[in-house]
């Protein structure tokens, strides 16, 4: 088995603050079910974590800038790491991810390169 990182991009940066307790509970239930299924199949390495939408960019010349609102659709908003035999299997897992219940999101699937 190889490891693949599912990189979640985009979404609404204000969703968590604006969601009702019911909406938040339903979302957490969907994520828990999806991760539980992967875990039961021994395919979940880590569920990862959501990331704050605010942050800083540092360029090669050490210039530090705030992440601009125009970059939000490309912004990494979280990640998970799964085990799969190949990228096609990892893509099939990603397609079932509950993040697709929200508009303006994408998932990148990238193999974790083993060093050494």
**C-alpha closest to that of 3 among 77, 81, 106, 98:** 81
Q: What is the model's pLDDT at position 66?
A: 85
Instruction: Give the residue from 89, 78, 69 showing the smallest Cα distance to 51.
Output: 78
Domains and CATH numbers, the chain: 2-111 (3.30.70.1060)
pLDDT of residue 75: 85
Residue 31: CA atoms inside 13 Å, Cβ hemisphere, count? 16
Predicted TM-score (pTM) of the model is 0.87
pLDDT in tens, the chain (116 residues): 999 999 999 888 888 889 999 999 999 999 999 999 999 999 999 999 888 888 888 999 999 988 866 566 778 989 999 999 999 999 999 999 999 998 889 999 999 998 87
The pLDDT value given to residue 70: 57
């Amino acid at each position: 088995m190889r490891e693949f990182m599912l990189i979640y991009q985009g979404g609404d940066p204000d969703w968590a603050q604006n969601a009702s307790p019911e909406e938040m509970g339903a979302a957490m239930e969907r994520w828990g079910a999806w991760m539980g299924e992967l875990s039961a199949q021994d395919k979940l390495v880590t569920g990862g974590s959501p990331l704050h939408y605010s942050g800083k960019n540092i360029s090669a010349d050490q210039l530090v800038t705030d992440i601009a609102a125009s970059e939000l659709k490309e912004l990494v908003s979280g990640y998970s790491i799964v085990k799969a035999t190949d990228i096609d299997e990892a893509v099939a897992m990603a397609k079932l991810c509950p993040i697709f219940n929200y508009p303006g999101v994408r998932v990148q699937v990238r193999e974790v390169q083993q060093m050494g």
